[in-house]
Amino acid sequence: MMLKVPYGQDPYNVIGQYIQNHITAIEDMIAVIQVNEVIMNELYMVDMNADGYFYWKSDWWEGEEKVALLDYFPVSEAERMGWTPCSERLPEHGGRYLISVLDGINRRTTVAPYLPRCKAWAMNGRMAYWKVIAWMPLPEPYREEEQDG
């Protein structure tokens, strides 16, 4: 475990500051977060235009959970797995995927659920207008037992 968030502190800020203090390049990160016993991948957006220089893509903290940062890595590292253009094919199964989108003129990377019945990405708000151009499965979450050796 890299970082355990002390009870009562804001995990968004604690984990965000930790990642910000340990990264060497300005790029988006995939953070492997454990909330209670559930391990998940969350996108940590590094954005020089945003207040505070970073923000989280999703809301995963309600205030009472045990939260820990298990691992993090740059999106570019995940991208080495290879993108699948949406023009070639869409995912066969529902779930959360790393996606590349156009938000008008900018290319962004984010995480979104895919709904196979609708053959659509579940995005709302301003994201509903983004065009998904490629996707890839999220990397496997960190598993502590695999690291021991």
Residue 23 burial by CB count (10 A; 0-12/13-18/19+): exposed, middle or buried? middle
88-139 confidence digits (pLDDT tens)? 899 999 988 888 888 777 777 778 889 998 888 988 777 788 888 889 888 7
Average pLDDT over residues 52-70: 67
Both tokens of 60, joined, read: 């995963």
Write down the pLDDT at residue 90.
93
Contact residues for 96 (Cβ-Cβ < 8 A; gap 6+): 41, 111, 112, 113, 114, 138
The distance from CA 113 to its chain's CA centroid, rounded to whole angstroms, is 11
pTM over 0.85: no
Q: Where are the domains of the chain?
A: 3-76, 81-138
- List, as one string, the DSSP characters of 45-94: EE-TTSTTSEEESS----SSS-EEEEEEEEHHHHHTT--EETTT---SS-
9-57 confidence digits (pLDDT tens)? 888 788 888 887 877 666 777 777 777 777 666 666 665 555 545 666 6
